[in-house]
Chains A and B, each alone.
Chain A
Amino acid sequence: MDINAYIQSGIIEQYVLGLASTEEVAELQQLLVQYPELNKAIVDFEKSVEKYVMANSVQPPSFVKTALEKELFNTSSEAIINKDSKIPVYTISLWRYVAAASIVLLIASTALNFYFYSGYKNSKQHYEALLTERNTLQANNASYKQSLQMFGDTSMLRIEMKGMPGKEQNIATVLWDKRSKDVYLYATNMQQTPAGKQYQLWAIVDGKPVNAGVINDCAGICKMKRIDHAEAFAVTLEKEGGSPAPTLSEMYVIGKI
């Protein structure tokens, strides 16, 4: 190809001024790779157009610049500068706020949960303790009432058992219902039992000890076994659960009818 003829053909002017067809542009760009002088011719024409247009500048009214500055830098300047990143950035920071708020709320909620739960637990424990105490007191009260009634009941036989020699401080009382033959024991003042030991009540019937039951931890009056008739009652210290026969050496109190 005669590149000089091509350069002089007017194609360069067409190309620079945007008047070349797509095919003409493609052809020129291909030739540009082969012929550096083509590029020089293009740049020369570009510069001469630029020089001419610059020399014939027409000053636009000043409000155009003001409007542009406003558009590009005031309200929407960031939107243009960060056109692509602005929205994600905003979204991320929003999510950050939401996440941060969630975490704060979670921590606060957890702390409150602990606070309320421990409060609830305390109250529940307190309530249960009070309930137990109330039940105990109620039970105690009932048995004391019963005791009082029993002690005042004329049909109840009252047998006071006194401490044996060396155990004189111990006192217990048997209340024996003459009608029903029910036996009740009231530990007026008995020594604390050692671990693994229990007091056991015996009825002496025809000279023989009859098991009337072990004394459990009962408030006030303990109901014992029914005894039809007896000459005396005694309490011995036995192994836990009671013994078939009393350990006489461990007799604490005895009372005759």
Chain B
Amino acid sequence: MAESLSYTENELVLLLKQHTPAAFNYLYDNYSGALYHVVLSIVQERELANDVLQEVFVKIWKQIDQYNPDKGRLFTWMMNISRNAGIDTLRSKSYHSQKQNRELTENVYATAETTEIETDKIGLRKIVTNLKEEHKVLIELAYFHGYTQDEISKFLNVPLGTVKTRLRSALIQLRQYLKR
């Protein structure tokens, strides 16, 4: 590909608000791979992830005016849209929710192991595999399944304070891996 322009986030936001095809091309060409990675790490099925990714770009396109730079970087905003779209898709799939309920109530640790095997090539999950088992589960439930700390506390029958501490501890470790 020819040398392409590189925009700062502020420039990109302004560009996106114009809703030009050029803005879309830039957005897609630069971020689709990263956001696909995020979506895949959540839904873990390529076919499903294709649909979700499409949905993610439509949302970014339509909701760019709602993006507030004071609350974070554009990439963080887009990444959270991707994560939420993935989680929503998982939850809207009844067989998945059934599966999740079973996983959560019966054997959440087993779930963490299975997903680990299925998705060991996907970056975000790959990082998690480095964590201790008790932390891995928390990240799995909180980040990849979107459960609140309160819900996790109930599901795991662990006090909320413990969930909070473990989650933070897990995240601090993840930060170390990210920096490597």
- Closest chain-B Cβ to A178's Cβ sits at a distance in Å of 114
Residues of A within 8 A of B143 (CB): 17, 19
Q: Which residues in window 103-129 of B have CB below 8 A to A?
A: 122-124, 126-127
Residues of B within 8 A of A1 (CB): none
Residues of A within 8 A of B50 (CB): 60-61, 63-64
Interface membership of A50, Cβ < 8 A: yes
Contact of B79 among A53, A67, A83 (CB under 8 A): A53
A17 adjacent to B171 (CB under 8 Å): yes
Nearest to A19 among chain B residues (CB) is: B142
Residues of B within 8 A of A72 (CB): 24, 57-58, 61
A18 adjacent to B149 (CB under 8 Å): no
Contact of A46 among B61, B73, B126 (CB under 8 A): B73
- Closest chain-B Cβ to A191's Cβ sits at a distance in Å of 100
Interface membership of A11, Cβ < 8 A: yes
- Using C-beta atoms within 8 Å of the partner chain, give the interface range for chain B: 35 or more
Q: Majority SS of interface residues in chain A?
A: helix
Contact of A16 among B62, B72, B127, B148 (CB under 8 A): B72
Residues of B within 8 A of A8 (CB): 172
A10 adjacent to B83 (CB under 8 Å): no
A11 adjacent to B168 (CB under 8 Å): yes
In the assembled complex, the Cα of A11 lies from the Cα of B149 at a distance in Å of 13
Question: 1/0 per position for B153-167, CB-CB distance to A under 8 A?
Answer: 000000000000001
Interface membership of A94, Cβ < 8 A: no
Residues of B within 8 A of A21 (CB): 148-150
Interface membership of A49, Cβ < 8 A: yes
In the assembled complex, the Cα of A29 lies from the Cα of B71 at a distance in Å of 8
Binding site for A on B (CB under 8 A): 19, 21, 24, 28, 32-34, 36-38, 40, 49-50, 53-54, 57-58, 61-62, 71-73, 75-76, 79-80, 83-84, 122-124, 126-127, 142-143, 148-150, 167-172, 174-175, 178-179
Binding site for B on A (CB under 8 A): 8-11, 13-14, 16-19, 21, 29, 42-43, 45-61, 63-65, 67-69, 71-73, 80-81, 83
